[in-house]
A and B are shown apart, each in its own frame.
Chain A
């Protein structure tokens, strides 16, 4: 089972990222869960979302405490918190930042891989808005291989429609190509 934790801010689409990955995994025959850290949604406030993917039925109804993968959608969050908290050794931390894997902020766990991508720039150029949820999925796909770009196409089009879906796909594919992975 792969457990994924998302850190973002309300409005950036962390929950949508989790949902799209889960739906893609389910469509290809896996079992998956996606869920927010439940609470009143507030734009701009730090939010957490979770996803699990397995090849058999998942029997856990609790938050993710020891993720294999952590995705940070907001570059500022790594200055405020340690996104690697609880991560399994050998896991991969994927951060939206211009600074590259060397400038990843407060990461205490030295036994994980770090991947970075400048999702803000990609989303701004491709979507005209700094909503990085789909862009970060591109980095996630490259860094983990849990799903493929083909797997995500249907959920993406289903959520955003053909026109906006195509632009999101372009942003996602750019992140797939531009992500830097260390370790």
Chain B
């Protein structure tokens, strides 16, 4: 596929990255809800360009089961799904993290039924938030491509050994043609060396994985997973730092735009971040001191970096892409409020939920949200959340 800049569908670029990462096993349910990612990988394997096992399974539950099996023997393993597929897969999704298996998944974030919908929001990933996976959110095609390499590097690190999900907005990113700069295979080899798993399943040295756990041991297994996720943080930072040195493309758990002197910041996760930057530019010209704070790393949640980015601001306008029915706010806002509670200089938090199931959030909508959110912040109307643009 060659290095260099090309105009390509983001799903295809991700599949190419997976091939460049020289995976051993891809298991996926090949029809709806699926993206072109595994379709293109099936082509690459069938054309003999990648020496890997492509397992077209009968359901997403089986897809993740195959991934568990292959990762357990030390094979570099990839899968991809969305929405209902993730729901069906969820039982094994939790087990993958519990068994500390370094599977990498491209999760094209899409809404959950009902009503039946194929479009983008974050309800699928929020359903499995607490499984113990590492969750990275990306904003554009370049980040999607890069995140595949970063994720294998992080997942397979002996100090981590956890699955990683690369979250990207379904359709908005997966079906977008845009420029992506490919790296060469030598760089990839250097960055993610051959995966050698320390405690792989092998007949010569039998071990048990995913056993029965009595109350005497279950709590300790959960602590083990918690420590694993928390300890992945410095490895993630290092993986991004090295990627930055190799490619010039630098990633951080929390990224900011025009936020240094901002009074109010929009907080986003995923592709909202790009439109937010554009709108911040527009509002700056109108004299509004607004900036953008973007959460790239969702788990482990970057508490310190987030606080550093926002403490001292007047207010935050958090835009969620999922709803928590009957809850205090969207999933991101709840996290943000929790991170700031009792902290000196904490900004007030106003929460909007927008863009559910692919409802377009235009620049005008962002502008409305920010200006209205600022008014709410100033008047102390900061409880709960507002479902933006809801009719009736």
Contacts and interface: CB of A to CB of B under 8 A. Distances in A.
Given A59-B278, A60-B275, A38 B358 contact: yes
Nearest to B257: A59
A62 B361 contact: yes
A173 B319 CA distance: 47
Contacts of B361: 62
A62 B169 CA distance: 12
Contact of A32 (B7, B175, B274, B275): B7
A39 B271 CA distance: 19
A35 B362 contact: no
A59 B274 contact: yes
Interface in B170-197: 171-173, 175-179
B119 A38 contact: yes
A26 B274 contact: no
The majority secondary structure among interface residues of chain A is mixed
Interface residues of B, number: 29
A27 B180 CA distance: 11
B271 A23 contact: no
A35 B175 contact: yes
B271 A61 contact: yes
A58 B360 CA distance: 17
Interface in A121-138: none
Nearest to A25: B7
Contacts of A44: none
Contacts of B175: 35-36, 38
B118 interface: yes
Contacts of B272: 61
Contacts, number: 71
B363 interface: yes
A96 interface: no
Contact of A27 (B7, B169, B274, B365): B7
Contact of B177 (A34, A39, A59, A63): A34
A33 B274 CA distance: 13
A32 B179 contact: yes
B284 interface: no
A31 interface: yes
The 6 closest A-B pairs by CB, nearest first: A26-B7, A23-B7, A38-B171, A34-B177, A61-B271, A59-B278
Interface of B: 5-7, 9, 118-120, 169, 171-173, 175-179, 271-272, 274-275, 277-278, 358, 360-365
Given A22-B177, A60-B274, 12 more contacts: A24-B7, A32-B179, A35-B177, A38-B172, A59-B278, A60-B278, A60-B363, A61-B172, A61-B275, A62-B365, A63-B362, A65-B364
